[in-house]
Amino acid sequence: MPASDAPSSPVQPYDLAVVGGGVSGLSAAHAARQAGRSAIVLERSAAPGGSVHTLRRDGFLAEGGPHTLLLSDPRVSDWLEELGLLAQAVDANPAAAKRFILRGGVPTPLPYSAGSFLFGGWMSAGGKLRLLAEPFRHGRPPAGEESIGHWFRRHFGEEAAATILDPFVSGIYAGDPDQLSLSAAFPRIEEAASRHPSAVRSFLRTAKERKKSGGRRPKRRLVSFPEGLGQLPATLAAELGPAVRTRQDLQSITRESEGWRLTVNGEDLRARRLLLALPPEALARLPLPDDLHGELQALTTIVSPPLTGVAVGYRREQIRHPLDGFGVLCPFRERRKILGILFDSTLFPGRAPEGQVLLSVFLGGRRQEDPTVLDEDALRARVLGEARDILGIEGEPTLFHPVHWPHAIPQYDLGYHRYGELFDRLETREPGLTFAGNTRDGVALGNCVLSGKDRAEKILGIA
C-alpha cells in the first residue's frame, strides 16, 4: 500500500474519509492522494463507479448509465491527462453529429445547416419565423427565478420549446423543462444569455468580444474510452488501490476531538476530514450525528425520478432506419412510452459484433410512469414495440439488457439553490465536513470530477 493511502500508524486518523465511490468520491480521494494525503473511500455497493455502468455481453460493449463525457472545461482534460486517460479518449463519430427528434412519429433530423434550417421539416414555417424573431421579441423576465421552459418559450416561442428544448432536457435530466431552474440546472446558458435582453444578441456579443480579445471558445469534445466510460472509475480505483473499500455498511458517524469516527462493517475508522459524495436520498439516510441528520432531511424534497436504460442489439439488416446519427429523442407531445433511442454503435463504432448494431432505449424520468417496477415481459413489449415502430425493425433482438435506476438524476428544480445554501451553512458550522457530487455541483460527469477534486482540495487546504 503506498504511504499516502493509509495513516502512518493504525491510531493515526486518515486525512480524508470519502463516503461514496462514484466518480465524484473517487476524484476527491485521488486529489487527496496526489497531494500526499491519506484517504479512504467507503462505497456501499460491490463495485465503485456509481452511475457509471459499462457492461460487456455477447460481444456488445454497452453503457447502462452515462454514454458520453463532454470535455468542455480544459481542467477536466488536464485531469484525464494526469490519469493517462486523455490519449485513450475516443471521440464520438462525426456521423453522430446528426440528431433526430420524433415528429409525427417520424425520426426527423434537427437542422445542421442553413438549408436544413429553412427547408427541413423539423418545425412549421410559423415556428421557424418565431424563432428568427427572437432579437426583437423576447418578452419580459419574471420577477423571481425562471424555469428553463419559461425562459426558452419567452425567447423562441412555444413550438421551438416543444420541438428542441423538450427533448434536449429529456436527454440530459429526463426532466420537465417547466420545473427545472434555468440558473440552477443550466447556469452556463443563463450566463451566456445575460448580456442583452435578447438571448441571440447576447450570444453574438459574447462571441464578438471573445474574437476581439483574441480568445477562443475551448474546443468541445464528446468522448468515451475503448472499454467504455467504466474505464474512468476503474482507472481511478486502480490508482487508489486498497484505499477504495466496497461493500461498506456505515453504522454510525460521530464527531471526535480530531475529526470523525466512522463505524463501518463493525470496525472503527478515524478521519480528520469527511467528504460526502452521495445522492440526495443517501445523504438524508446517512447515520450522522442527530443535528446534521436532522438538517439533511431537507434533501428528501429533491426529486430524482426513476429511469431504465435498455441495451438492445439487432442484426443490421433487421433495421430499416440508416442509424446515421446520435439517436432519436421523443418530445413529450409525441406521447411515446420511451424517452429516446441512442445509436450506440454509430456513436462509437465497434461496440457491436460484426454485422450487428447496438441501441440504447431510455424510458422513465419525470413525466413517464416508473419503468423500474415493470416485469421483464412488460418492459420488453414496451421497449421493442416502440423501437420497432420508430426505426422500422423486424424480428427479435439479439441482445436485451435492462439497467434500472430507481433514483437516476437529481432534478435541479426551481428553488434548488436552497440546497446549495444548506451545504454552505453546514460547512461553515462544521469545518471538517464537505459535500460533493451531483447533488451539489451539477450532474454531468465533468462537473462531478471537478466537484470531487475541488471540494477535497478546499477542505484539505491544498492550494
Ligand X SMILES: Cc1cc2nc3c(=O)[nH]c(=O)nc-3n(C[C@H](O)[C@H](O)[C@H](O)COP(=O)(O)OP(=O)(O)OC[C@H]3O[C@@H](n4cnc5c(N)ncnc54)[C@H](O)[C@@H]3O)c2cc1C
> Where on the chain is the footprint of ligand X (CB under 6 A)?
19-25, 42-45, 50-52, 65-69, 248, 250, 277-279, 282, 286, 307, 309, 405, 408-409, 437-438, 443-445, 448
Q: Which is nearer to ligand X, 86 or 132 (CB)?
A: 86
Residue 453's identity, in one-letter code, is K
Least gap, CB of 306 to ligand X (angstroms): 10
Q: How far apart, in whole angstroms, are the C-alpha atoms of residue 128 and residue 124?
A: 6
Q: Which is nearer to ligand X, 31 or 199 (CB)?
A: 31
Least gap, CB of 324 to ligand X (angstroms): 20
Q: Which is nearer to ligand X, 23 or 131 (CB)?
A: 23
What phi and psi, each to the nearest 5 degrees, are found at residue 438?
-75, -5
179 and 366 Cβ atoms separated by less than 8 Å = yes
Least gap, CB of 53 to ligand X (angstroms): 8
DSSP alpha helix (H) spans, 133-177? 148-156, 158-160, 166-173
Please calculate the CA angle 109-52-279 and round it to the nearest 5 degrees.
Answer: 105
Q: What are the DSSP calls for 75-131, one per residue? A: HHHHHHHHTT-GGG-EEPPGGGG--EEEETTEEEEPP-SHHHHHH-TTS-HHHHHHH
Q: Which is nearer to ligand X, 69 or 391 (CB)?
A: 69
Least gap, CB of 198 to ligand X (angstroms): 30
Least gap, CB of 175 to ligand X (angstroms): 12
Q: At what angle do helices 74-82 and 445-460 cross, to 10 degrees?
A: 80
Q: Which is nearer to ligand X, 118 or 238 (CB)?
A: 238
Which of 329, 331, 324 minimizes the C-alpha distance to 340? Answer: 329
Least gap, CB of 26 to ligand X (angstroms): 7
Q: Which is nearer to ligand X, 24 or 170 (CB)?
A: 24
Least gap, CB of 426 to ligand X (angstroms): 17
Least gap, CB of 277 to ligand X (angstroms): 5
Place of cell 424480428: 395
Q: Which is nearer to ligand X, 131 or 408 (CB)?
A: 408
Q: Residue 192 contacts by C-beta under 8 Å, 6 or more apart in sequence?
A: 202, 203, 206
C-alpha cell at 138: 423576447
Q: How far apart, in whole angstroms, are the C-alpha atoms of residue 85 and residue 82?
A: 8
Q: How far apart, in whole angstroms, are the C-alpha atoms of residue 75 and residue 31?
A: 13
Q: Which is nearer to ligand X, 307 or 387 (CB)?
A: 307
